[in-house]
């Protein structure tokens, strides 16, 4: 649905029909992404060394969301999912959703995530 980038004079549909892929971004995007990834990694390691933060309830969610952001950035920009055919997006996000749900279900089943009232 996002057609903000207008690299080509063809409409996306025409481009698809003609077999032309959306153009990939260039150096200017790539190095910025790399910097962001580095910064996030530094942040992750940094908080790891703050005992008070590690002990706090925010630790786990923070780390999980930081790595999720990294994951998403690489997939969207380096793997061009943001620019490529939406089919690829479906092929990746579908399995990713199944996989994530499975992970969470297993964590629950083995008692690593507990529901409100413990049994």
Partner 1 sequence: MATTVIDTTPPHLRPFVPSPVPATVEMERSTIWGWLTTTDHKKIGTLYLFTALFFFLVGGTEAEILRAQLGAPNRHLVSAELYNQIFTMHGTTMIFLAIMPLSAAFFNFIIPLQIGARDVAFPRLNAFSYWVFLFGGLFISIPILFGQGPNGGWFGYVPLTTATYSPGLHIDFWVLGLQILGISSLAAGFNFITTIINLRAPGMSLMRMPVFTWMAFVVQFMVVLAFPVITIALFFLLLDRFFGTQFYEVAAGGDPLLWQHLFWIFGHPEVYILILPAFGLVSEVLPTFSKKPLFGYPVMVYSGILIGFLGFGVWAHHMFAVGMGPVADSVFGVTTMLIAIPTGVKIFNWIGTIAQGQFKATSASLFAVGMVALFTIGGISGVMHSSPPADLQQTDSYFVVAHFHYVMFGGSIMGLFAGIYYYFPKFFGRMLDETLGKIHFWLTFIGMNLTFFPMHFSGMLGMPRRVYTYDSGQGWSLFNALSTYGAYLLFIATLFFVYNFIKSKKSGRPAGPNPWGAGTLEWTIPSPPPVYNFAVLPTVTSRYPLWEGKQADIESARINQQAGKTAEQLGIAIPYGTIKPLLAALFLVGMFGGLIVGHWLIFGCAGAMVLSLYAWLTSPLEPELH
Partner 2 sequence: MSATVSHHYSSTGLENRKIAIWAFIGSECMLFVSLISTYLIYKGRSRVGPYPHTPWTDPSTGHVYKAILNIPVTSASTFILLMSSLAMVLALAAVENKGKPQRNLGERILGNSKLWLAMTALLGIGFLGFQAYEFTSFVNEGLTIKTNLFGSTFFTLTGFHGAHVTAGVIWILSMLAIDFKRGLGPSDALNVDIMALYWHFVDVIWVAIFTLVYLIR
Residues that bind partner 1 (CB under 8 A): 87, 91, 94-95, 98-99, 101-102, 105-106, 108-110, 115, 119
We find the least distance from the C-beta atom of residue 94 to partner 2, in angstroms, to be 7
Intra-chain end-to-end CA distance of the chain, in Å: 45
We find the least distance from the C-beta atom of residue 99 to partner 2, in angstroms, to be 4
Retrieve residue 30's tokens. 């790539």
Choose the one of partner 2, partner 1, none that binds residue 33, judging by a C-beta under 5 to 8 angstroms depending on kind: partner 2
Retrieve residue 86's tokens. 């939406």
Please give the full DSSP string across 96-117, using - where no structure is assigned.
HHHHHHHHHHHHHHTTSS--SS
We find the least distance from the C-beta atom of residue 92 to partner 2, in angstroms, to be 6
């Amino acid at each position: 649905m996002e057609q903000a980038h207008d690299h080509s004079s063809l409409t996306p549909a025409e481009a698809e029909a003609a077999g032309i892929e959306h153009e990939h971004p260039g150096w200017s995007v790539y190095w910025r992404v790399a910097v962001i990834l580095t910064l996030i990694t530094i942040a992750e390691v940094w908080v790891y060394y703050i005992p008070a933060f590690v002990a706090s309830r925010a630790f786990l969610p923070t780390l999980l969301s930081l790595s999720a952001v990294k994951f998403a950035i690489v997939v969207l920009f380096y793997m061009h999912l943001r620019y490529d055919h939406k089919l690829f997006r479906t092929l990746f996000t579908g399995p990713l959703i199944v996989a994530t749900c499975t992970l969470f279900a297993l964590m629950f089943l083995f008692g690593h995530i507990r529901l409100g009232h413990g049994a």
